[in-house]
Amino acid sequence: MTSRPAIIAVDDDLASIESTVSGDPQTAVAEARTSLEEFANSEATSRARSSHLDDADAALLRAQEQTSDRPARRLEAIRNRIQIYRESVSQTGEDLAVIESTIRVDESDDGRRDTALTEYHDETVELVATVVNGGIDRRVVLAVTFYDETGTELDDAATDEHAFGADEQATISLEVRVPDGAAYYTVTALDGQTQTVG
């Protein structure tokens, strides 16, 4: 089992929306929650992960089309976050996967606290990501992109290249400044020979 990337960790938002709607929209939100749980419980390198996101997005669209005002806007924002995540994954090198990423503030912090990114605005933090190379020996670059609540890209950063052997899993860290207004981030593993950052 892998953790859900922070940008699509939307359980609290979905629970809140689910409590304010009824009928088919409520059913659709519950279906989206189930699909996102299935996504989190599937292997990071599994092709099925994409279908779980498809199912979640379709259910959220169904709920959005039947609601209005604040619930509809919140559902649209969640769908935007799923799209941003998909774009990040599509940029990841072939046979590469980021299976987990966390933010650490200092060495004693294990990075697993459920802390909002907003608590780190304008601070330098350590981003730690676990990357799997399911392909040949290669050089890998880890890239992080920060977004605000609306999905607007605020800033990005990248590591130097790291050598990965075939079928190797390793942890890469990167010191980054969290931009003011950042609400979410994505982490992408790039093949250092065939892909560029930015």
Burial of 185 (0-12, 13-18, 19+ CB in 10 A): buried
CATH architecture classification, 96-191? Distorted Sandwich (2.70)
Inform me whether the pLDDT recorded for 112 exceeds 50: no
Inform me whether the pLDDT recorded for 1 exceeds 50: no
**Structural domain boundaries in the chain:** 6-91, 96-191
Query: What average pLDDT does the segment 151-177 reach?
Result: 92
Per-residue model confidence (pLDDT) at position 78: 93
Inform me whether the pLDDT recorded for 79 exceeds 60: yes
Per the DSSP assignment, residues forming a β-bridge with 139 are 163
Report which residue type is found at 55: D
Burial of 127 (0-12, 13-18, 19+ CB in 10 A): buried
Q: Among 1-15, 19-33, 157-171, which stretch is predicted with the lowest mean pLDDT? A: 1-15
Helix axis angle, 48-65 to 69-91, nearest 10°: 160
Per-residue model confidence (pLDDT) at position 114: 44
pLDDT band at 72 (very low <50, low <70, confident <90, very high): very high
* CA 5 – CA 32 distance, rounded (Å): 16
176 close to 104: Cβ distance less than 8 angstroms: no
pLDDT band at 36 (very low <50, low <70, confident <90, very high): very high
